[in-house]
Amino acid sequence: SFYDYHIERFRKRIPPSLSGLIGHLAAVVRHYISYADLLKIRYSPFECLIMVGTEDRLVRESNSYMLQRVLGCRLIKCDGAGHGLQGECVEEINQELFSRK
């Protein structure tokens, strides 16, 4: 059932740390970046990677594709993952990060 599905997802989650919760709260409160700042990121000397979960209910998947176009960077789509990608797509994320030179 729908209820059982979400209970199981909740049981498998990795509990956030206090600093993680504070960081997420700050991100929600300050959730804005100008186009000029996005272009600074695009032309900075480091690589950028966008990761999106197809089941994320906090950030629309379409926003990730828009960011990919503006930043000109790679995008990883984790099928079935929500907003907690680092706990839900560990293997995919590690493979992507550590396979790059």
DSSP string, 11-68: HHSPPPPHHHHHHHHHHHHT----HHHHHHHHTSSS--EEEEETT-SSS-HHHHHHHH
pLDDT at 23: 85
Q: What is the pLDDT of residues 22-50, one digit of tens each?
A: 887 887 777 788 899 999 999 999 888 89
Q: Is the pLDDT of residue 101 over 60?
A: no
What is the pLDDT of the chain when averaged over all its residues? Answer: 86
Q: What are phi and psi of 26, to 5 degrees?
A: -65, -40
Predicted TM-score (pTM) above 0.75? no
Q: Go through the chain and tell me how many residues it has.
A: 101
* Domains in the chain with CATH codes: 2-99 (3.40.50)
Residue that the structure tokens 């828009």 belong to? 66
Percent of the chain scoring above 70 in pLDDT? 98
Predicted pLDDT at 41: 92
pLDDT at 78 over 60: yes
What values do phi and psi take at 96, rounded to 5? -65, -45
Where on the phi/psi map is residue 80: left (φ > 0), alpha (ψ -120 to 50), or beta? Answer: left
pLDDT at 9: 83
pLDDT mean over 45-62: 88
